[in-house]
Amino acid sequence: MSLLELIAAADERGLAASAVACLDRCLPQPVDGADPDPLRPLWAGCTDAALWPDRLAEVRAVLDAAADEEGAAPRIRRLLGEAPVDRAVPGLREWADACSLLALEVHLGPDPAEAADAETVRRCREGDPDGAGPLPAGELRRQIRILELLAETADASAAGAGLRQVLDVSAEGQRVLRAAVSRRARRDPNERP
């Protein structure tokens, strides 16, 4: 299935967790003293819908206070501001789709050989990553894997294990992106990542 098909088929928990994972991977390297994992509280809201509104408010407050204007941080704050507080599926699906789109666009950006154009992102989301470059192709594989993991662990007994696996996949993706941004910054110190 393509990424778009998986998003269309995902349940409420899958949409919430895949969206949070996308935003998590896009967070810039934290400055000294900043919370290294500001979205962590929201993961509990992915497991328990009753916790979602409070955890979402907590994460919004933390990121608003940080007011980081580097990289994707402003877009992440905007998307968190648009997240459905009630975790209802129609709005949640649109939000998860927007988070997926942001993650692919961010992964196109750090590679100077790739242009973050709408056509490349559209092709990736429809299942054709040819010519997109290694970072967006890897991000596409991660998003697909995460949605598949969440679908496989949809029953309550496996839900916690599924989210732990998603966290592992997402953390690895975050390391990959941060390393790419860091390499680019060393290559061209006058250019902001």
- pTM of the predicted protein model: 0.87
The answer to the question of residue 7 being in a domain is yes
**Over the stretch 155-181, which tens digit does the pLDDT of each residue have?**
765 567 788 899 999 999 889 888 887
The answer to the question of residue 47 being in a domain is yes
Can you give the pLDDT at residue 92? 96
Residue range 61-88: mean pLDDT, rounded: 87
The answer to the question of residue 146 being in a domain is yes
Total structural domains within the chain: 1
74: Cα separation from own chain's centroid: 14
69: Cα separation from own chain's centroid: 18
Indicate whether 39 pLDDT > 80.
yes
User: 10: domain range?
Assistant: 3-187
The answer to the question of residue 147 being in a domain is yes
Can you give the pLDDT at residue 156? 61
The answer to the question of residue 193 being in a domain is no
Structure-token match 């790419």, residue found: 180
Indicate whether 192 pLDDT > 60.
no
Distances (CA, A) of 140 to 89, 144, 187: 22, 6, 26
The 8-class DSSP code of residue 167 comes to: H
Indicate whether 136 pLDDT > 80.
yes
The answer to the question of residue 12 being in a domain is yes
